Chains A and B, each alone.
Chain A
Amino acid sequence: MSRIFSLDHRVIGLQYLFTAMAMAIVGGLLALLIRIQIAWPDHDYSWIAVVLPAGFDSGIMKPEFYAALFTMHGTIMIFFVLSAALIGGFGNYLIPLQVGARDMAFPRLNALSYWIYALSSVVILASFYVPSGPAASGWTAYPPLSALKAAIPGSNLGQDLWLVAMALFIVSFTLGGLNFLATILAMRRPGLSMLDLPLFSWSMLFVAILGLLAFPSLTAAAIMLLFDRHAGTSFFLPAGVVLSGDLIPGGGGSPILWQHLFWFLGHPEVYILMLPSLGITSDMFTVFTGRRVFGYKSMVVAMALISGMSFLVWGHHMFVSGMSPFLGSAFAVTTTLIAVPSGIKVFNWIASLWNRPLRLTTPMLWALGIFSLFVTGGLSGIWLGQTQVDIQLHDTAFVVAHFHIIMAGAALFGVFAGVHYWFPLFFGRMMSERLGIAHFLATFVFYYATFFPMHMAGLEGQIRRVYDPYQYEYLKPLAAMNGFITWAAIALAVSQLLFFWNFFTSLRGGSPAGVNPWSAASLEWTESESEGSPEPGPLSAAVER
């Protein structure tokens, strides 16, 4: 029992990591279903319908099921996979070790935060099993679509469960954020200054601040939306809504209010996912070039600027919503200028690697992959930050390409870098470099093969979230490209088997890691040395048996 309901930050970190891995499988399979539908919409998928009878009608996917797929894919991947793995997983395990504390400041709160996260995962998964289906209003849940039950089948119980799951998730990450903040600021080993910390710990500090300030906005919005749905309020419902011929009573609210509240969380959330990866990348460059990353202090300043500015850019999601053009101009300025601190990071990285002997280990490869993704995705972000360019590209596949490369891709690569790098710390064994390299190279190639062509699809006008793009004459020529993307996505998914194989076989069969196998200088590795014996994570004992 004590191993399951443990207060040990290392156990809790691994619990987060394993839960996130399980959720990643769900989210990934949803993505594959989305892709095969976009590429070959009229195909008979009776073989999938055997597993998911509710989603198909005589072998053809239902449009409402498709909407549920992209809604749940986005929600699960952003919150339940990437946030959970990077922050819950790595954050919990590593912060106390990197700052030289015995544990988190509040171990009980920490355990509670994991169990609330686990509960919210159960709630979001349970919504697949309600008769009207899971939420289907997109991960952004824009009302009135998400407020009115008659607007879309998923806007029934599925949407309620989605809102409850989000509220629980936020509670969990608020507790976690408080803990991180207290631990980093107040529990550092005496003599260890903030400027001695690895950049990963710095990124966690900023993530905690962002989370604490941004998440409450969505909590409030979620509760208001629940009220709109069940208590007869109209926070987000204007007067005079007529849905399939019926006048909806109430009114006086504004659907655009939801967008402000949602994106006030939503955009910092993007950086919540990015910052840990940026921190990990810098730390990998430190370890595998054998010298502290170039411009360490300016990296900290850049992260602080990115974090601060991330609160001032949310309106770029609403350039075409009809809000005042003055607001549009203001948000264009903040959005575009966030590329300045991002640029500082890129230049510092180049300077860190230039003329240095690199050790090309698997974690280092992932970090170099993040470098590439951060450049590619950052540049398309500048495009979308300009209002006139956004008019054409808003809500097209170009946006899908952009955020999958920068936010999802960089975060995902960060998870892989971190798992490979800290695996010896977690389990006392090494993961296979051979499989790791194969996994990296395949993922790098197929990730770009999947997401880069979406830029072109978007430029040619392919809109997002469409169940069948070929209803439009002008999108019919894109069928071949969409087929290519889907094959690449399938290859990308298959490549991930290498990771799972590597991970689970290395748990028992990996070569013993010894102390500090990467010759790193940060405190999480020296901790074991000082205690005289390599002390791998607590779960490895269970694995041994």
Chain B
Amino acid sequence: MVEAQHTRAPGNRLWGFMLESPGNGGRLAAVFAFLTLVFVVWSGYAIATSVLPPLAANRGRIDAAISLNLIISGVVFLGAHLALVLILVRRPREARIPRENMRIEVLWTVLTAAVLIGLLINSEIDARALGSRETGPEEPLVVEVVAQQFAWNFRFPGEDGILGRTDPKLVDQAELNFIGLDKRDPAAEDDIVMPQSLLILPEGREVVIRLRSMDVIHSFFVASFRVKRDAMPGLATEFSFTPTATGMFEIACAEHCGLGHYRMRGAVEVVPRGEWLAKIKEVTE
């Protein structure tokens, strides 16, 4: 044991007690095992008791998937770390060596794969459900969301249901025309342009967000709605959800978009359906 020479140097009081028997690690193993246990208990408790922001849209599937993952990974996490603790505290003096066993290797590989495939199927079912529209008789409410450094622009198509033409050449910040709305287009006449960074939605009605960006990449994130989607310049994407609770919710930009990224904050106010139109008129006039 050449390595022990160095560790048995005199004056080894502080940590020396762990090194008394370098052959098997002595009390060091116990200390490491104890720290591992403390970590497992602390982290398990902390993550199991942490809560997502209160759910306020029809996307509870995401919460369920997170719970499912928490349980499955909790079991594996616990199992692997308990194995580590046992390995540390048991340490036999003589090895009892298992033979290389192909069957066991195949078994645990297949088991892992089965659990993962289960998760994948669940994920695919959820993704399809989250990506599809509601099938009610009611038309969804269309909102165009246009991100820019460092604000959110919201526009409803108005009664005609058509969003008026926009042209980046027509952007005029002094005129508050941030998205370059072409006012000569007849379809643009009844478009409702909201004050920047404020969106008002009716409770219980499906919303289709048409998302794009004027400049760099941003990301539209409302934690309580379980909604996140990048706003790509040059690419308009769509997704839908239904707010299920009234109140004020914060919109965060989730993609680094410049020095004002941290304050690219917006608000969604969800109001009862009956009050929605009046509320929209109130803030746009």
Contact = CB atoms under 8 A, between A and B. Distances in A.
Interface of A: 62-64, 67, 136-138, 142, 144-145, 148, 151-153, 238-245, 247, 251, 253-256, 289-291, 294-295, 298, 320-322, 325, 328-329, 332-333, 336-337, 339-340, 343-344, 346-348, 350-351, 353-361, 365, 368, 371-372, 375-376, 379-380, 382-383, 386-389, 391-392, 394-396, 430, 432-434, 437-438, 441, 444-445, 448, 452-453, 455-456, 459-461, 463-469, 471-474, 510-511, 513-514, 516-519
A444 B33 CA distance: 12
B91 interface: yes
Q: Which 3 A-B pairs have the closest CB atoms?
A: A238-B234, A360-B25, A461-B223
Contact of A336 (B88, B119, B172, B229): B119
A439 B197 CA distance: 49
A322 B211 contact: yes
Given A144-B215, A254-B235, A372-B84, A434 B19 contact: yes
25 contacts: A144-B233, A148-B215, A151-B149, A239-B168, A240-B234, A242-B148, A322-B237, A332-B123, A343-B109, A353-B87, A359-B24, A376-B77, A380-B73, A387-B123, A388-B127, A430-B3, A444-B35, A445-B35, A452-B43, A453-B46, A459-B51, A461-B52, A467-B261, A468-B262, A468-B263
A438 B13 CA distance: 13
A332 to B, nearest CB: 6
A472 B105 contact: no
Contact of B226 (A144, A357, A380, A392): A392
B217 interface: yes
B7 A433 contact: yes
A297 to B, nearest CB: 9
A463 B263 CA distance: 12
A360 B29 contact: yes
A391 B228 contact: yes
A216 to B, nearest CB: 24
A459 to B, nearest CB: 5
Given A255-B232, A382-B116, A461-B52, 16 more contacts: A67-B258, A67-B259, A239-B168, A256-B235, A357-B92, A359-B22, A360-B25, A368-B84, A391-B226, A394-B228, A394-B254, A395-B228, A395-B255, A437-B15, A461-B223, A517-B2
Given A355-B98, A372-B36, A441-B31, A392 B255 contact: no
Give the most central of B32, B148, B227, B253: most A CB within 10 Å.
B32
Contacts of A452: 39, 43, 46-47
B87 A354 contact: yes
B261 A67 contact: yes
Contacts of A294: 98, 100
Contact of B235 (A322, A351, A360, A463): A322
A379 B77 contact: yes
B97 interface: yes
B12 A434 contact: yes
B226 A343 contact: no
B105 A298 contact: yes
A432 B116 CA distance: 43
B69 to A, nearest CB: 5
Given A322-B229, A375-B81, A388-B126, A360 B149 contact: no
A388 B123 contact: yes
Interface centre among A64, A244, A340 (most CB of B within 10 A): A340
Most buried by A among B52, B66, B127: B127
B284 interface: no
A329 B46 CA distance: 31
B185 interface: no
Given A320-B230, A389-B62, A295 B100 contact: yes
B35 A391 contact: no
Given A238-B234, A255-B234, A357 B94 contact: yes
Contact of A371 (B25, B84, B113, B252): B84
A322 B232 contact: yes
A228 B77 CA distance: 46
A277 B52 CA distance: 34
A466 B252 CA distance: 10
Contacts of B108: 343-344, 347
Interface size class of B (residues with CB under 8 A): 35 or more
B195 interface: no
Contacts of B66: 383, 389, 392, 459
Nearest to B235: A322
A132 to B, nearest CB: 12
Contact of B3 (A243, A395, A517): A517
Interface of B: 2-3, 5-7, 9, 12, 14-16, 18-19, 22-25, 28-29, 31-32, 35-36, 39, 43, 46-47, 50-53, 61-62, 65-66, 69, 73, 76-77, 80-81, 83-84, 87-88, 90-98, 100, 104-105, 108-109, 112-113, 116, 119-120, 122-124, 126-128, 130-131, 148-149, 168-169, 171-173, 180, 211, 214-217, 219, 221, 223-224, 226-230, 232-235, 237, 250, 252-263, 265
B35 A441 contact: yes
B92 A356 contact: yes
Nearest to A137: B256
Nearest to A429: B6
B263 A471 contact: yes
Given A138-B256, A355-B98, A455-B47, A325 B221 contact: no
A64 B150 CA distance: 14
Contacts of A432: 6-7
A324 to B, nearest CB: 10
Contacts of B173: 244-245
B65 to A, nearest CB: 5
Contacts of A62: 259
Contacts of B221: 395, 461, 463
A445 to B, nearest CB: 6
A62 B124 CA distance: 43
B219 A320 contact: yes
Given A145-B257, A245-B171, A350-B83, A359 B23 contact: yes
Contacts of B123: 332, 336, 386-389
B36 to A, nearest CB: 7
A344 B109 contact: yes
A359 B29 CA distance: 10
Given A441-B35, A468-B263, A247 B171 contact: yes
B186 to A, nearest CB: 22
Given A152-B258, A340-B112, A350 B87 contact: yes
A153 B16 CA distance: 53
Contact of A247 (B51, B96, B112, B169): B169
A2 B160 CA distance: 80
A332 B120 contact: yes
A337 B127 contact: no
Contacts of A353: 87
A209 B216 CA distance: 34
A254 B232 CA distance: 9
